[in-house]
């Protein structure tokens, strides 16, 4: 019995230590990034450019030369967007102007990519971006509908509670 208890204690201690090491050594990008809260997470502009370049390389089979040029384009965009996001404070009256500047940055990036990618690659890139935009809009609509439904359910419950109070009186 004592041997079994000792073995169980050692196994638990070993597992706990292994878990602690995995958590402590996990890179920051594994702990924070897409899917971890709102937005893209807190990647540096370099990390963002690397991720975008890797994604495009996988999707479009970029050459080494294209990868270098695409990374440079994405890095410039990421740096500019980071600066613009820093200027966008809550309640800022300049939000629309900054949003317009961000759109101009994305348009300029697309034009630069058009010069690096083949016409076929650029067409694939645009199609993928349009799909992503549609998916984002669908998710946004679903979220709005869910909020409206939740608010309606909340009001319905509140109304039922009020009716119960009136009956109890």
Q: Indicate the range of 42-56, 68-82, 113-127, 143-157 predicted with least confidence.
A: 143-157
Q: Please, is 142 exposed, middle or buried when counting C-beta atoms within 10 Å of its C-beta (0-12, 13-18, 19+)? A: exposed
HEC string for 27-95 = CHHHHCCCCCCCCCCCCCHHHHHHHHHHHHHHHHCCCHHHHHHHHHHHHHHHHHHHHHHHHCCCCCCCH
51 lies in the same domain as 81: yes
The whole domain housing 156 covers 129-164
The length of the chain is: 169
Backbone angles phi, psi at 132, to 5 degrees: -65, -40
The answer to whether residue 4 is domain-embedded is: no
108 lies in the same domain as 148: no
134 lies in the same domain as 81: no
Q: Indicate the range of 4-8, 21-25, 51-55, 143-147 predicted with least confidence.
A: 21-25
Task: Kindly report whether the global pTM for this prediction surpasses the value 0.85.
Answer: no
114 and 124 Cβ atoms separated by less than 8 Å? no
84 lies in the same domain as 142: no
Q: How confident is the model at residue 82 (pLDDT cuts 50, 70, 90)?
A: very high
158 lies in the same domain as 91: no
Domain count, the chain: 2
Mean pLDDT for the chain?
80
56 and 69 Cβ atoms separated by less than 8 Å? no
In angstroms, the CA 16 to CA 136 distance is 39
């Amino acid at each position: 019995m004592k041997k079994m208890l000792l073995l169980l204690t050692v196994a638990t201690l070993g597992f706990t230590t292994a878990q602690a090491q995995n958590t402590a050594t996990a890179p920051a990008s594994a702990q924070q990034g897409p899917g971890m809260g709102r937005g893209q997470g807190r990647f540096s502009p370099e990390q963002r450019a690397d991720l975008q370049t890797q994604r495009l390389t996988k999707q479009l089979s970029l050459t080494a030369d294209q990868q270098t040029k695409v990374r440079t384009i994405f890095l410039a965009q990421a740096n500019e967007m980071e600066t613009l996001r820093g200027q966008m404070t809550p309640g800022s009256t300049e939000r629309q102007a900054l949003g317009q500047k961000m759109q101009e940055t994305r348009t300029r990036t697309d034009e630069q990519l058009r010069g690096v990618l083949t016409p076929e690659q650029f067409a694939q890139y645009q199609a993928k971006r349009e799909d992503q935009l549609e998916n984002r809009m669908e998710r946004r609509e679903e979220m709005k509908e869910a909020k409206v439904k939740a608010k309606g359910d909340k009001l319905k419950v509140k109304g039922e509670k009020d009716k119960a109070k009136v009956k109890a009186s």
